[in-house]
Amino acid sequence: MAKSLVIVESPAKAKTVNHYLGQDYVVKASMGHVRDLPKKQMGVDIAAGFQPTYEVIPEKTKTVAELKRAAKESARVILAADPDREGEAISWHLGQLLAEANPNIFRATFNEITEEGVRDAFDNLGQIDLHLLDAQQTRRVLDRLAGYLISPLLWKKIARGLSAGRVQSVALRLIVDREKEIKAFVPEEYWLIAAKLEGRNPPAFRAGLAKIEGRKAKVRNADEARIVREECERTPFVLDKVQVKPKHKHPSPPYITSTLQQDGFRLLRFPVKKTMFVAQKLYEGMPIGELGQTGLITYMRTDSVRVSDAARAAAKAYIERYFSASHIPAKPNEYRSKKKTQDAHEAIRPAHLDLPPEKVKPFLKKEEYDLYKLIWRRFIASQMAAAKIEETVFDISCGRYLFQAKGEVVKFDGFLAVWPNGASDKETLPKAEAGETLKLLDLETKRKFTEPPPRYTEGTLVKELEARGIGRPSTYAPTIATIQTRTYVVKEEGKFRPTELGMYVTDFLVKHFPKLLEYKFTAHMEEELDQISEGARKGVESLEEFYALLKGYLEKGQETEGVKQTGIPIDETCPKCGAPLVVKSGRFGQFKACSSYPTCRFRESLDKKEAKPLDETCPECGAPLEQKFGRFGPFVACSSYPKCTYIKKDKPVDTGIDCPLGCGGKVLKRKTKRGKFFFGCSRYPKCQFASWDEPVDRACPACGAKILYKKTPIKGEPYVYCKNEACAFKEAAPRDKIWETAGAREGGPSGGAETGAPGPGGADEEGDR
């Protein structure tokens, strides 16, 4: 009897699903999307109702051929990609390609890769959700129209290699607008005044100045602060009022994608991309001892805080067993999503409550364990009772001044027993009674200045994008990566600062595409995509409205003057000649240059990355060494440059292979100044042997030559070949095969030629699969 073919996205997911299905199924991986819009043309027929033209991704040709063969030999095909828009699109494309080989095609969706979740999905097979598919295709075409039509205008008017995107450009605008706020901010002086006091009972405590003559305290300068100090030092402090208020601190809901990204950055310092990468691994499954391949969390791309009844019951049993019945709320905690969401997914939670973090720790890498523990604790805390807090407030009079102190005591820890991140840092106040005179131990006056709003970090940028409804959580990681790749922003101490290029491009787009760069308009487009997902709207309607707006802007934009030849003007002068500086684009990225070129040749790269200190010292001057970044890639140099110009040279790696020219030397793996690997002889310059391709310590079976060579082309599969011109030997070398050479064990060659600048199509903003 023929088996059923199941297709998922990744090998890890395939292994986990196969673990639960058994011998009647063959599970294979598509390795993500297999078809997409063409790279070198727009691929959208606007006149035919925005009909997209898809083609098989070149790198997936072999995968598709293998899936077709497997489909032909199977009783049926079950498409089990992720349960969202992208997963629906992957499944639809596979269905279109495999229908001729086997028309018996079904769709399976599951929110968690557990035995129960997988078997339930396979007992209730369905078909492709055409509404979800329409939403995904609409999003893809919207992104292609924005990127492919706006980006060429940026190339023409500003500089080659730039891109615009429906979400990318609006995210950049947030960073640019924040920078403008910071530059326009005028700091104001103010003073903080706090008294350290002691009552009849210990401990001593601090109270801050809250009011002056019944109004909110404002101390603007040193003279006013001195007057307050002098009056308070000669006036008694009297405890006027003691307020004791019982409070309940409630747990936060379980994670959704955006809140996991935010806490991943805030608590673990994970970039958004890393959080999603690790979460994907936890969802798809990994080997857990005797359990084998096991999925540890539910699907990690979700906007819903819903929790299934079964998961809630399991959490209740766990809490009662390991904490107490008092830690279970009288009624199950109910959480509401911030906006209307499809409740097909649950919140992100552990898939198995019998696998606590400590139990699986031996089988996980540190980052996997840390993120799993975060998800685990957040979910368990979300199902626990509120913490009971006793808040005490002291109102203390000192003449015309009112000081205030606040303290908290936890009477019942509730969810804080598992989620200490929610605890307050307020101090504990002593027992005291109204009317009590307090002893002044110290009076502190501190000069401060109001501060501008802070620059965005990855975490706060995600929070702002979500709050405004811009993009989807699954788009945030590639969006953040793109604006950095284009040098629109740079990171300084973990915070985004827009470059002059990023600010100019944003101003250009806001001026010539004002509606498309509005925050509310972009959020409205996301709402329309949600409506399309639910079948309440047709995708072509949104495309027609968007294109009509875009077309009008493009026609006007062609008439504007550009700065491609002269460079982008900036408010800086040349340090050499005093002429205005401009920003230009070159083969090594963006750079500042003197506007009086070629008379003055000053230039400075904008593609700067923060130097990373190393645990090594300079052999010439003793200063610490740093990893720096130049036009040819990373290098190690002295931190005291330009006083010390020491640069550490990479040592060649001995592959252990004899030189094929028979000179008695060994083949060494070296690196060019551009950072590209090549192989040469240890007896250079006496021996001139050199090769870009990796030598393989294996004799040619056709002609007997001592050495073969491994080549990895940009497109297609790697292969080994013989360099003997009279020999035509060539053999496939699978990418996962490790050739038995010292060079291969050390890591092999760089594995790919250098590529040029990307085309004008713009980034696929949800292209993380």
Cα gap 739→750, rounded to integer Å:
15
Q: Which amino acid type is present at position 713?
A: P
Regarding beta strands 719-721 and 437-449, do their DSSP bridges make them parallel or antiparallel, or are they unpaired?
A: unpaired
Cα gap 602→605, rounded to integer Å:
11
Whole-number CA gyration radius for the chain: 32
Q: Which amino acid type is present at position 63?
A: T
Kindly state the DSSP code that residue 255 receives in the 8-state scheme: B
Q: Residue 333 class from Cβ within 10 Å (0-12 exposed, 13-18 middle, 19+ buried)?
A: buried
Q: Which residues, other chains included, contact 111 with Cβ-Cβ below 8 Å and sequence gap of 6+?
A: 83, 117, 298, 299, 344, 345, 346
Residue 137 host element (H or E): helix 130-157
Choose among 100, 109, 96: nearest CA to 6. 109
Choose among 660, 674, 670, 746: nearest CA to 707. 660
Cα gap 295→286, rounded to integer Å:
7
Query: Helix (H, G, I), strand (E, B), or coil: what is residue 144?
Result: helix
Place of tokens 């990893």: 627
Place of tokens 């001195």: 226
Choose among 511, 482, 486, 519: nearest CA to 500. 486
Structure tokens at 396: 């203390």
Q: Which of 54, 299, 401, 547 is catalytic?
A: 299
Structure tokens at 571: 């408010």
Residue 523: CB atoms within 10 Å: 18
Sequence-distant contacts of 34-37: CB under 8 A, at least 24 apart: 34/60, 34/63, 34/64, 34/67, 34/90, 34/93, 34/94, 34/97, 35/60, 35/93, 35/96, 35/97, 36/764, 37/140, 37/144
Sequence-ordered strand ranges (E) for 91-204: 105-107, 189-198
Query: Helix (H, G, I), strand (E, B), or coil: what is residue 69?
Result: helix
Cα gap 476→484, rounded to integer Å:
13
Instruction: Establish whether 299 is a catalytic residue.
Output: yes
For the chain, the first-to-last Cα distance in angstroms comes to: 34
Choose among 23, 140, 124: nearest CA to 92. 140
Which residue numbers are catalytic? 299
